[in-house]
Amino acid sequence: MTCYELLRSLSDVPAQKQRGLYSVCSTHPAVLDATLLRGRRGEMVIIETTANQVNQFGGYTGMTARDFILRTRERARHLDVPLECIVFGSDHAGPFPWRNEVASSAMKRARGLVEDSVREGFVKIHLDASMHLADDMGDRTRPLDPRVGAERSAELCQAAENAWEDRRSRERDAPPPLYVIGTDVPAPGGTESGAAAPQVTTPRELEDSVEMCRKAFAARGLDSAWERVIAVVVQPAVEHGEHTVHRYDRSKVHALVEARRKNHRGRVFEAHATDYQTAGGLRQMVEDDFAILKVGPSLTGAVREALFLMDHVEEALAALRPGFQPSRVAEALEVAMLANPSYWKSYYRGDVATVSFLRKYGLSDRCRYYWGVPLVSAATERMMSNLRSAEIPMALLNQYFPRQAVRIQEGSLAPDPGSIIRAQVDEVLDKYTAAVSF
């Protein structure tokens, strides 16, 4: 069974054999490589990008949907990963990047994003038009009227269906898009620091959300597309701030789970912001019908952790070996974040020391927006070159990478920096593999 087929059939799996899938939302090369390599051992791989990361104008990564798919497939071929185990998805596909424009303009751009994504091969589409646009009326401190959001989501679905028909005219076997509806989650990019624990979606909110979307789809003649709505995004009170993690408590979602099992057996729940949950909590989520688990910041956070530790390794080597020039990646990252604060400034609160701490160590990992900045990527490349050519003493590996040091001694992990970083990411992914594989 391909990843697409499994994704489409998740709701049909008998309850006693309930399985799930996890979806990686990241464009970081180390995260992508670690994720793709799991496909080589038989795992299903879902890779998603947000409308901010990848869109028809390049997003903050500078990549269009075509760029991202071509580069990721090329990485997969290089790693000898079968392409049929990979599904590409568009997360929060909608007008969020253009929310400061009037609706006519923002929705035109959002339709273009969806059309471009589907034409190029994205098949899992999270329709999200839940945000206020510049000329929307009403209290902007409250959520957008859900009927407006549902109608705009249907508009985006129509654009996706048209793009699929266009793609199918060129590729007869092009699979139809699979849709995710619902937006009871943080906006793309995460919440502000110090956020309180979110409220669980109520059964009534679930019913209203699904019914409004169903009617909006029907009004546009999208009955066939509605049959391909595989999941609903709801809020299971799982989220994280900068210092705290709101852990999964299945007792809080019992009524919500029962409502799905009674009235919506044809689709599963999708859970966003599952980063930093325990392995046991993730497993319980899948058991409770949260069959699609989204993960992102904790994966790029694992990369940042590894690079910061390697900074210490380099400093130790510089003291030990005359002429060794450390790359100072953490310093380059700080310079880049201060030069362009747009990706973190509105999210962090506190005095200078607190904000400095959050830039480096906050759980939302807003560092992830800066790894592609030339200054930072050049420093990272110098680090990789330095540590590939240096024989890192086992004492330093034991000090900074004790778990990986054991694997290096056993011969199951190569002693190069790229392998060590991927191993750090793998420790996060292992929790998700265990959660979805019964």
Model confidence pLDDT, tens digit, residues 234-254 = 999 999 889 899 999 999 999
pLDDT at position 16 is 47
Of all residues in the chain, what percent carry a pLDDT higher than 70?
A: 95
pLDDT at position 367 is 95
Interval 108-113 mean pLDDT: 98
pLDDT at position 12 is 81
The answer to whether residues 401 and 258 touch, using CB atoms and an 8 Å cutoff, is no
Amino acid at residue number 177: P
Q: Single out the residue of 337, 297, 332, 285 nearest to residue 425, CA to CA.
A: 297
Under the banding of pLDDT at 50, 70 and 90, the label for residue 423 is very high
Round the CA-based radius of gyration of the chain to a whole number and report it. Answer: 22
Q: Which of helix, strand or coil describes residue 111? A: helix
pLDDT at position 193 is 44
Interval 209-228 mean pLDDT: 98
Strands (E), 287-437: 292-295
Under the banding of pLDDT at 50, 70 and 90, the label for residue 351 is very high
Chosen CATH of 3-295 out of 3.40.710.10, 3.40.50.170, 2.40.110.10, 3.20.20.70: 3.20.20.70
pLDDT at position 191 is 53
Under CATH, to which class is 301-425 assigned?
A: mainly alpha
Q: Where in the chain is the domain with CATH 3.20.20.70?
A: 3-295
Of all residues in the chain, what percent carry a pLDDT higher than 90?
A: 89
Judged against a pLDDT cut of 50, whether residue 299 lies above it is answered with: yes
- Report the mean per-residue pLDDT for the chain: 94
Q: Where in the chain is the domain with CATH 1.10.400.20?
A: 301-425
C-alpha–C-alpha distance, residues 84 and 68, integer Å: 17
